[in-house]
Structure 1
Amino acid sequence: MKLPLKSRLTRHDDFSIIKKCGKKVISEGIVYYIYRNNKNISRLAVVVSRKFGNAVLRNRVKRLFREAFRNHSKEFNEFFDVIIIPQKEMLRKCHLVYISIEKHFLSALVKSKVI
């Protein structure tokens, strides 16, 4: 199932505000920027650099994070904007399976008091 268009961060202005004012959490080679929004929906962006790996690997990581977000966004205390930036070192620390990605995603959300 796809992440709805309303749940995606796409505007450059939104990225700038979230990176500037949001809370930065670094966990297992993944950088999270989390910012409370005043909209009625939580939104997500996953930014994966070409340095991370080939297109298949980058797209798989994006799909796994979007799925984890889609499954757990209803558990958030409030509405948040989340930017996820996986680093290449993440490949050494966690496997690219949904359970592993979900575990890292949830631990970062708990650390930042979103859940």
Structure 2
Amino acid sequence: MINLKKNREFQNVYNYGKKSFGYYSLIFFKANETNENKFGFVVSKKTGNAVCRNRLKRLFREYCRLNEGNLITGYDIIFVAKRTAGEKFKTLSFEEMKKDLDRVLKNSKLFKK
């Protein structure tokens, strides 16, 4: 799994990519020139404390690790946690997050058929 690290990489996806909304997350995506997916994870301080933010990022990373083979290659994808995820982070299970992200990615047509 390759991560987006530089600010300009994130800004490029934000400014020129598309976005899709879920209940717990917002996803920005843009085609890149490579044959690999690059992932970025964003959780704002408005979402919660450090424990909350780190847990949400771990859930996003685990989802990407398990579903990397199911995604169409050649995209930069940024996962942004919404405040609703932060409010529910103690009881939020991986299955709930997975269900939400599956729906968002299917609507975005990023899943292989």
TM-score by length of 1: 0.86
Greater Cα offset, 56-65 or 37-46? 37-46
**Aligned counterpart for 2:69 among listed residues 65, 68, 74:** 74
CA distance in 2, matches of 1:9, 1:44: 6
Could you tell me which of 9, 14, 21 is aligned with 2:4?
Answer: 9
CA displacement at 1:81 relative to structure 2 = 1.0
Aligned mates of 2:101, 2:27 — CA distance in 1: 9
Query: Of the candidates 96, 102, 106, which is equivalent to residue 102 of structure 2?
Result: 106
Computed over aligned residues only, the root mean square deviation of the Cα atoms, in angstroms, reads 1.7
User: Contact 1:31–1:87 (CA<8 Å) still a contact in 2?
Assistant: yes
**TM-score for the superposition, normalised by structure 2:** 0.87
Identity of aligned residues (%): 30
Cα contact 1:29–1:93 (8 A) shared by 2: no
Amino acid paired to 1:55: A
1:34 to 2:14 alignment = no
SS at match of 1:66: helix
62-71 or 80-89, which deviates more? 80-89
CA–CA separation in structure 2 for the residues paired with 1:91 and 1:56: 10
Shift of 1:101: 1.1
Structure 2: segments with no counterpart, 5+ residues: none
Q: 1:19: how far off?
A: 0.5
Shift of 1:82: 0.8
Change (3 A) 1:51 1:92: closer
The alignment covers a number of residue pairs equal to: 110
2:32 and 2:76 in contact (8 A); partners too: yes
Shift, 1:77, TM fit: 2.4
| The 10-residue stretch of structure 1 (88-97 or 51-60) with the greater mean CA deviation from structure 2 | 88-97
